[in-house]
Amino acid sequence: MLSHYLILSAIVFAIGVFGVLLRRNAIIVMMSIELMLNAVNLGFVAVSNHLGVIDGQIFVIFIMAVAAAEAAVGLAIIIAVFRNYYSVETDEVSSLAL
Amino acid sequence: MSFFAIILSAFTVFTALGVVLSRRPLNSALWLVATLFLVAGHFAYLDAHFLAVIQVMLYAGAIMVLVIFVIMLLGIRDGGEFDKVALYKGLAVGLVLAGFVVIVGGAALRELEGLELVGSTRPSSILTASGGGVKQIGQSMFTDFLLPFELTSILLLAAIVGAVVLTLEPKRLLSAGRGLEAKRRAAGAES
């Protein structure tokens, strides 16, 4: 049971890393990051269930809060970048100055 | 290992691949919504009922609405193509990640089945029969995890302020800066 879920978690995390490295659209990169966060959440809940301790589930709630904050700031950055470059392709945004 | 969990896992991997491999960002977002629902299903299967609800309401609801809203706002139809270099790069990365999964999986299969708690645990953190419900999570969060909980509020406040500042119109940002500059000058003139 636990090993099944840890393997699933590793696979989903790997797919997320794959997306971050392969895609150049900033929004898809962000969604891949969400995928990785979800993989970690799955691992936390699986271990929490296996050990019979609730701490893992509390951690998942905090991770969700961080993910919400990350999505808000990340999408704001994407909008700011789009205003200046008219594109969200990460290849075309090579300057740090706005 | 139940049949249900295996089917759920297969669907999860499939939809996760859909997120990464669809060409259009909107399709990616919809695949991600499906993945989040399936992860909520896993949570429910693992007796984390409250998390399953939160996952649907907060992740598949709030966060994904935000993402789809931005995709619609910016009108991005095309997510960019995979050119050959990216494809080779992707194959290499895929091989490395497959290795990672095999290593983690092997370790998980061999070592972790006998994983047990070591040392003393706080009695409040032991899952009860209705574990994963609102009651125990609330008790744990507002006693053992009170400080991190309060710190989360600061994080969220910073995120709100950051999002507002980043999306200000450049003109208004400039004028806000000028206002500060004028204030500073006035303060300098007074003193």
Strand partners, A25: A89
Is pLDDT of B174 > 60? Answer: no
Is pLDDT of B84 > 80? Answer: no
B-chain residues near A64 (CB < 8 A) = 54-55, 58-59
Task: Say yes or no: A92 contacts chain B, CB-CB below 8 A.
Answer: no
- Tell me the pLDDT of chain A averaged across its residues: 87
| For range B101-127, the mean pLDDT | 70
| For range B164-180, the mean pLDDT | 66
Phi, psi of A25 (to 5 degrees): -80, 120
Q: Do A18 and B13 touch (CB under 8 A)?
A: no
Q: Which class for B9: exposed (0-12), middle (13-18), buried (19 or more C-beta within 10 A)?
A: buried
Query: Which residue in A7, A42, A80 is closest to B104 by CB distance?
Result: A7
A-chain residues near B170 (CB < 8 A) = 83, 98
The 10 Å Cβ neighbour count of residue B43 is: 26
| For range A60-67, the mean pLDDT | 93
Q: Give the nearest chain B residue to A85 (CA atoms).
A: B74
Q: How far apart are CA B1 and CA B178, in angstroms?
A: 64
Q: Do B62 and A23 touch (CB under 8 A)?
A: no
ipTM score over 0.90, yes or no: yes
> What pTM was computed for the model?
0.83
| For range B27-43, the mean pLDDT | 94
Q: Which class for B147: exposed (0-12), middle (13-18), buried (19 or more C-beta within 10 A)?
A: exposed
Q: Do A68 and B115 touch (CB under 8 A)?
A: no
Q: How far apart are CA B88 and CA B124, in angstroms?
A: 51
Query: Which residue in B32, B63, B115 is closest to A2 by CB distance?
Result: B115
Total number of residues shown for chain B: 191
Is pLDDT of A15 > 60? Answer: yes
Given this model, what pLDDT does residue A38 score?
94
Q: Give first-to-last CA distance, chain B, whole Å.
A: 75
Q: Do A55 and B125 touch (CB under 8 A)?
A: yes
| For range B111-131, the mean pLDDT | 69
- Tell me the pLDDT of chain B averaged across its residues: 81
Strand partners, B126: A53
From B20's Cα to the closest Cα of chain A, the distance in A is 5
pLDDT band for A6, please (50, 70, 90 cuts): confident
Given this model, what pLDDT does residue B180 score?
58
CA atoms within 13 A on the CB side of B25: 26
Is pLDDT of A22 > 90? Answer: no
Is pLDDT of B87 > 80? Answer: no
Given this model, what pLDDT does residue A40 score?
94
